[in-house]
Amino acid sequence: MTRRIAVVGAGMAAARFAERFQALGGDAEVTLYGAEPRAPYNRALLADVLTGRYAADDLTLLSGDAQLRTGCEVTALDTVAHTLRLADGAHVPYDDLVLATGAEPVLPGGADTADTLRPADGGHAPYDEPAPATGVGPAAGPALPPGGAHMVRTAADFERLAAAAARARRAVVIGGGVLGVSVARALASRGLPVTIVHQASHLVERELDGPAGELLRGVLAGLGVEVRTGSTVRAVHGDGRVELSGGHVLDADLVVAACGVTPRTALARAAGLPVRTGVLVDDRLSCAPGVYAIGDCAEHRDRTHGTAGAAWEQADVLAARLSGAAPDAAYAGSRPYARLSAGPLEYAAFGDPAADEGGDEGGLDVLRIADATRGSYKKLVLRGDRIAGAVLLGDLSTVGALARAYERDEIVPADPFHLLTSPTSQGAS
């Protein structure tokens, strides 16, 4: 009998796994079970559904010859009987099981539940509410006040947000990480005045150092986005106004919550699989015999990633193993790398570009080039002769060379400034 591989989730990791499995000549019947109603798509491009550059249907990803069961939520796993239970009550047998359930948005810390952050029309239930009886998946959703907060994870979320933006006067985006920044920029590109409320002292603090965050703030200001750092939201009122913890109230009729994500693990946890922040996997990406986890839901060597790059690297390793093309392939982790390309907002960040800012400067060398007139900022942090972190903002002309040196952990050239400068770059500091 043909071997059956069941993949729970039909997102970016699942699609890549299925596509690579077929390309590598894998001999099994692969089925993707996806709760969303559409085929796998490139989630990382969703902000451009708001700018109008893409329709959601333009973002569809290939998934080899896998069977696609869309709109099909898996509600329970039985790893002893090797069966899945589906939302319609059906039980489906499998031989190997791949969890690719992704992540779900978190609400801002400290938000109260009454008259506060709730998802906007037709959105998900708030993720901090008790899980539904099945322990997984979106619930029906409460009665919603008109001024609820939009979540931004799925194509449907972005389609709803685009429709709401067309009627809105003024928007607030809660969260100034990469997701909040790209959503704010996309809303502003539609002519909507936007305010970002961000808890940390500078934007995108996980990927950028302070000066880069400040430069980004300047670029956003030029696009019509105001940024309030060091601020938290106390409540979103029914009329859309947003109350900050200091008491200040922002006028708005469209609110977006972009406060980070958490691995979607309820299904694995309920099945007794090992879960900490994510589903715990080893270098084979396995969490139990014949059970694997990849993508945003997986935790490997104490790390969850939350990036498409890591999800794809994991999918590639698992496809190589399960197809038999490289049965001993192992996943050794992904090096942190982030890239934003959103119109005039452009940066690439490698490793920890703020490694020198945490009081741990010992053994680090820092090279910096800032050019305020061109709106560019570049920084290279070296530990010995290797790259510990780097950022290019506003001028990515050397991104290829830098990415290669970083990904291969190469010894940097004798004059590492070359990794930051191109013939057109000027103004070393």
Ligand X SMILES: Cc1cc2nc3c(=O)[nH]c(=O)nc-3n(C[C@H](O)[C@H](O)[C@H](O)COP(=O)(O)OP(=O)(O)OC[C@H]3O[C@@H](n4cnc5c(N)ncnc54)[C@H](O)[C@@H]3O)c2cc1C
Binding site for ligand X (CB under 6 A): 8-14, 33-36, 43-44, 46-47, 73-74, 100-103, 136-137, 152-153, 179, 264, 267, 295-297, 306-309, 311
| Residue of minimal Cβ distance to ligand X | 11
Comparing CB distances to ligand X, the nearer of 131 and 244 is 131
CB of 40 to ligand X, least distance (A): 7
CB of 251 to ligand X, least distance (A): 26
Comparing CB distances to ligand X, the nearer of 34 and 148 is 34
Comparing CB distances to ligand X, the nearer of 152 and 194 is 152
Comparing CB distances to ligand X, the nearer of 59 and 117 is 59
CB of 158 to ligand X, least distance (A): 7
CB of 292 to ligand X, least distance (A): 12
CB of 269 to ligand X, least distance (A): 12
Comparing CB distances to ligand X, the nearer of 313 and 395 is 313
Comparing CB distances to ligand X, the nearer of 296 and 299 is 296
CB of 102 to ligand X, least distance (A): 3
3-state secondary structure the chain: CCCEEEEECCCHHHHHHHHHHHHCCCCCEEEEECCCCCCCECHHHCHHHHHCCCCHHHHECCCCCCEEECCCCEEEEECCCCEEEECCCCEEECCEEEECCCEEECCCCCCCCCCCCCECCCCCCCCCCCCCCCCCCCCCCCCCCCCCEECCCCHHHHHHHHHHHHHCCCEEEECCCHHHHHHHHHHHHCCCCEEEECCCCCCCCCCCCHHHHHHHHHHHHHCCEEEECCCCEEEECCCCCEEECCCCEECCCEEEECCCEEECCHHHHHCCCCECCCEEECCCCEEECCEEECHHHEEECCECCCCHHHHHHHHHHHHHHHHCCCCCCCCCCCCCEEEEEECCEEEEEEECCCHHHCCCCCCEEEEEEEECCCCEEEEEEEECCEEEEEEEECCCCCHHHHHHHHHCCCCCCCCHHHHCCCCCCCCEC
